[in-house]
Structure formats: structure tokens, C-alpha cells
Chain A
């Protein structure tokens, strides 16, 4: 085996090497445990780095410095934050429902971690190569809604409950376009297995890759998927559930200490897993972006793409203002849903139109026309103009 392919498979080889110390009947078990430990160690590590990057990035966008006191350039800030949240008093409200209040962050983090099980991080690097991997991810994602409700309801706090209701309504509404935009990929690949979806995008034309994002339906699907993913993870501009000006902090208002840190962790891990799926579905997974860059290890590409996605999410958070509740719902049901349904039809047409420039033109034209028309129709009923304040002036 050459040095490059050894580097590509370094984690797989490491897993086999460690498992080799155990008796044969124990080896599958040890291998699985090692893979789980890898995932459970790697992604929270990225979470720690992301919190610093996000605060520094947002600081730059908002013309300030961001954290810069702990360690060089403030990069040890997450260590200080971690120690703080571990030593803080864990306050449970007197009237709160103790058991449910305790279980909510646990359920959230467990469900979010389960989502990583079917994520192909590199060549041969997937914990569970399931026949219905994509379905597994969405099924697990659906159970995070319940943990949000549990947190909001058990706190016995009107702000928590309002935040939870907003969050659940938003997550259910945006789950429909999220699933439908991913369905396009399943239609084209003919498989629900995440490994097969990545393999289907493995080829190159010249030096350009066969990623799904470089087709009209793939591009539309990617944009719709990212918007729905932002809403699913309650990130700006869809962060109404924790609108601090109205609801204190939404459903985790009554959480402190490490339970709060768990919610924080769960939210960011959810963002990583859904960004990882956007990469898997549309951006070629662990594939290299150009044919001549194939020597870089596959997991390197995955994590580079993940960093790019995180940078995009931070940039969007620093740029876009928060939506209002009615705008949020209108956008989901009147724009996202028709566009995803149309994208399904376009993808079907693409499949049966055969090779050639014609299908590129027709599919792009249909999607672009629908985008412009839907936008116009939606804008017509919006009274866009200078904002008028009832009390503030």
C-alpha cells in the first residue's frame, strides 16, 4: 500500500491495529466502540474551535474584536467556558418537572450524536453503512423536536413554552422542504445509502467533479436544503425560538451550568451533522474538488468542506436580520414547498431527457422562471417600504 493511500486510510488502519490486540470474537465490538469514541471526540472538538471562530468572525463583521483575553488571540476561550459551565450552580426551578427537565438536554445530545452514525467522513469511514442511511438521519432528526418541547414544557416558564412552541412549529414546517430537497438526490442516485450517494458523485469530466450541485436541479436543491437546514438548526436568520429580545432565551431559559452547555453543544452538533449531510448529498462528500487534487486524504476534504460550511453559516448569521413569525411560515409554505416540489419534477425530466445541452437549458429556465415568479407573487402582498413604528417614535 502506498504512503498516500495509507494516509487516506490512517484512521481505519488505526482502528484495525487497536482492535487487533483483542480476541477475535471481541473485535467487531471493539472496532465499533473505537469509531464511536472517534466521533464523540472529534465533533465536540470542532464545536470548541467553532465557538471561538464564530465569536471572532461575528466580532469582525460587527466591527469589534471578539474574545481576545484567554491564551493567544483568545483561542483558549472554550476551555475557560467549559470550566465555567462545569462549576456553575445547576439551578432547577422550584415548580419545574424535575425528570423531564433533566432528560431534555440528554435526549437532544444523544439524538444529535446518533445522526453522525451514517455520515461518511472519508473513504471507508462510516460507522453504520445502512441501506436506508438517509432515512435514519431524518428519523433521528425528527426526535430532536421532542426534546425541545420537553425542555420548554418542563421549565414551567411562559417564555420557555413559547420558545419551544415556536421552535417545534418551525422545525416541523421546514422538515418538509428539507426532506423533499433531499429526495431529489435519492431519485437520481437510486439509493438511500449515504455511501452510495457519495460514490455516485465520484467521477470527473476533465478535471471537474460530478457533484450534484453542478446541475440545475442539484443547485436549486442545495440552496433549498441549506435554507431548510438553517431553519432546522434554529440558526440566524431563523433563530426566533430564542429571540432574546422577546423570549429571554427561548426554550432553554431555565437551564444553567452544564445542562445549558449541553443544549449549546447539541445545537452546534446538529449544525455540523446537517452541514455534513449537505456536503454528502450535494458537494461530493469526501471527494476531491478537482481530479488533480486526489492525493489529499478523503477525510481532509470532508473536514475542509465542513469548515467552509461553518464559515458560511457564521457569515449568514452576521449578515441577515431575524425573520418575523409570519414571514417564516409564509416563506416555508409559499416559497420553499412549491420550489422543492417543482425541483422534483425538474429532476425527473432531467433523468429522462437524455444527454445534451438542451436539458441544461430547459431545466435551468424552468427553475429560474419559477424562482422569479414565486418571488414576484410573494412580494406583491408584502408591504415593503419604510418601517413605521407605533410607539417608538
Chain B
């Protein structure tokens, strides 16, 4: 029997606290790399939340994609654009009002979308989702979105290669 506090299980509370703490730290810390690392804690917390909901596939993919790739990408972007040595930035940008409006608008849109997509009656039991089941539906029902995403990613990959390619004209002059 898992102990509960306010009707929420203890593991959920710990994970939620960790996730929120990571997000708050990511917004408030002054050193950008520290922010990125705190954001990683949030990613890990989200993965743990998925696992807590017994969504193994979503949890592991969250870990693989967000901790393994997105966090590294963020960190590389910071190092390549600002340099590694300058730790001090102002934590409040001059256009904070615009940021606040954007954040509120995003939150409103997300809330609207989530509440709209909720089924009228809550399911009595959580559906048993196996990894195999996810694979089968990805390859049958949702094969079209999957292919569109695949094409998008391939285009991005080719674009990255083209951007990184040395310009042949310059090479001839050297």
C-alpha cells in the first residue's frame, strides 16, 4: 500500500516537486548552463511521471529524446552562441511584459485544447498499453502522421548537411 497525502501518492508528490523545482530553477538561475541542467531535471521528472502512470514507452522515449538529445542540443547551442565563460546575465529581460503575454497565451491555448479533448466520462480503468500495441497502431492507424514526421526529419537532416557543407567556390580559391 502506497502512502497518500491529500489523496496523492507520495511518489507522485516527490516527482512533482522535483519537476517544478527544476522548472523554477531553469527560469531563475543566472548561469545559462545551470538553467539548461535544471531543465534536464524537469525532463527527467516528466519521464518519471510517465513511468509513475505506467506509460513505459512514453517515459523511456522522453528520457531518450529529451535528456539524451534535446538537453545536449540546448547545451551545445548555449556554448556555441554565448561562449562558455560568462556566467552573469540579467534574470529579467527588458521585454518581460511580452514574454508574460506569450506565456499566458500559450497556457490558455493548451488548457483549451486539453479540456476540449477530454472524453465526457472518465474511463473506469486505465487501458493496458503495451509497447507492442503502440508499435502496431503506429504502423497501421497512424502510419500517415508517422511518415509525415519522418519526411520532415529527413528534410531537416539534409538541410543541416547542406548548411554545414563547405562552399566549393571558396575551396577552389584557397
The contact size tier of chain A is 20 to 34
**Which of these, A136, A143, A191, contacts B68 with CB under 8 Å?**
A143
The reply to whether A142 and B64 contact each other, CB–CB distance below 8 Å, is yes
Cα(A132)–Cα(B57), bound, Å: 7
A161 interface contact, C-beta 8 A: yes
The reply to whether A161 and B132 contact each other, CB–CB distance below 8 Å, is no
* A132 proximity list for chain B (CB < 8 A): 56-57, 60, 131
CB distance from B133 to the nearest CB of A (A): 10
B40 interface contact, C-beta 8 A: yes
Contact residues of B between 77 and 101, Cβ < 8 Å to A: 79, 84-85
Cα(A168)–Cα(B85), bound, Å: 19
The reply to whether A191 and B57 contact each other, CB–CB distance below 8 Å, is no
CB distance from B25 to the nearest CB of A (A): 12
A130 interface contact, C-beta 8 A: yes
Cα(A146)–Cα(B84), bound, Å: 16
* A191 proximity list for chain B (CB < 8 A): 132
B130 interface contact, C-beta 8 A: yes
Cα(A146)–Cα(B71), bound, Å: 8
Cα(A150)–Cα(B79), bound, Å: 12
The contact size tier of chain B is 20 to 34
Closest A residue to B134 by beta carbon equals: A132
B46 interface contact, C-beta 8 A: no
Interface of A is mostly: helix
A149 interface contact, C-beta 8 A: yes
A190 interface contact, C-beta 8 A: yes
**Which of these, A131, A135, A156, contacts B64 with CB under 8 Å?**
A135
**Most chain A beta-carbon neighbours within 10 Å: one of B44, B60, B71, B132:** B60
The reply to whether B84 and A153 contact each other, CB–CB distance below 8 Å, is yes
Closest A residue to B130 by beta carbon equals: A131
* B18 proximity list for chain A (CB < 8 A): none
The reply to whether B60 and A135 contact each other, CB–CB distance below 8 Å, is yes
CB distance from B73 to the nearest CB of A (A): 9
The reply to whether A135 and B71 contact each other, CB–CB distance below 8 Å, is no
A137-168 contact mask (Cβ, 8 Å, vs B): 1 or 0: 01111110110011001001000010001001
Cα(A149)–Cα(B69), bound, Å: 12
The 6 lowest CB-CB distance pairs between A and B, nearest first, are A142-B68, A139-B63, A135-B60, A139-B60, A139-B64, A132-B56
Chain A interface residues toward B at CB < 8 A: 97, 100, 130-132, 135-136, 138-143, 145-146, 149-150, 153, 156, 161, 165, 168, 172, 175, 190-192
Give me 13 A-to-B residue pairs in the complex whose CB atoms sit less than 8 angstroms apart, sorted by A's number: A100-B33, A131-B56, A135-B61, A135-B131, A138-B64, A139-B61, A142-B67, A146-B75, A161-B84, A165-B76, A165-B79, A175-B68, A192-B131
Chain B interface residues toward A at CB < 8 A: 31, 33-34, 37, 40, 44, 47, 56-57, 60-61, 63-64, 67-69, 71-72, 75-76, 79, 84-85, 130-132
